[in-house]
Amino acid sequence: MAEDLSSMYHVKGVVKWFDPAKGYGFVLADEGGPDILLHVNVLRNFGQSSVTDGAEIEIVTHRTDRGVQAVEVVSISAPDREATTGLSDFAEVDESTLRDLPLEPARVKWFDKGKGFGFANVFGSNEDVFLHVEVLRQSGLADLQPGEALAMRVMDGKRGRMAAEVHSWETALNGDDEAE
């Protein structure tokens, strides 16, 4: 069945909440109105399996008899770094120092949202890189799946090699490396 393009709307808003285990969440439009359903499949089409609460998001929506839902993610911007608690490991790190680190391709080894951490491996290396849930939140992500491809900025921290910034692989490939 073809979609009625006249009922498609381009919307900017904020992620109210998203639960990867349930496979959906909701977006609050900047201009108000009803909550907008964001299904995990729409998010996966954008190249992410999760998104953090408070992230700014730009989506294409469609109104159905069951309400408004996102049909395409156009962009996601992580919440303001000052609005998140951050990690003490990076408290003294200057933002420009962080930006100067290369984005390294990596794959998630495992991540446990309940524990708040996990590990990834940079391609070509067997060395584990520590992933903390706060770094994910600051990067606009809420959870990771084993085997998921990422692009990370990695630093030596108090716990060894640590991800200081994480991006979905597709975001990094498209050069959408946060043009702040």
Q: CA-to-CA distance for 136 and 51, rounded, in angstroms?
A: 9
90: pLDDT strictly greater than 80: no
Q: What is the pTM of this model?
A: 0.60
**57 and 76 in contact (C-beta within 8 Å)?**
yes
Q: In sequence order, what are the residues at sequence separation of 6 or more whose Cβ sits closer than 8 angstroms to the Cβ of residue 2?
A: none
List of E strands, the chain = 8-19, 24-29, 36-39, 56-64, 67-77, 104-112, 117-122, 128-132, 149-157, 160-168
**56 and 76 in contact (C-beta within 8 Å)?**
yes
Q: How far is CA 162 from CA 11, 86, 131, 133, 154, in A?
A: 35, 13, 6, 12, 6
Q: CA-to-CA distance for 110 and 60, rounded, in angstroms?
A: 32
**146 and 110 in contact (C-beta within 8 Å)?**
yes
Would you state the CATH architecture of domain 5-77? Beta Barrel (2.40)
Q: Give the model's confidence band at 78: pLDDT under 50 very low, under 70 low, under 90 confident, else very high.
A: confident
Q: Give the model's confidence band at 170: pLDDT under 50 very low, under 70 low, under 90 confident, else very high.
A: confident
**Counting runs of H as helices and runs of E as strands, what totals does the chain give?**
4, 10
Most confident range (mean pLDDT) of 17-31, 81-95, 132-146, 162-176 is 17-31
Q: CA-to-CA distance for 135 and 144, rounded, in angstroms?
A: 12
**34 and 67 in contact (C-beta within 8 Å)?**
yes
Exposure of 5 by Cβ count < 10 A (0-12 exposed, 13-18 middle, 19+ buried)? exposed
Which pair of tokens denotes residue 20?
Answer: 């990867």
CATH number of 81-173: 2.40.50.140
**Positions of CATH 2.40.50.140 in the chain:** 5-77, 81-173
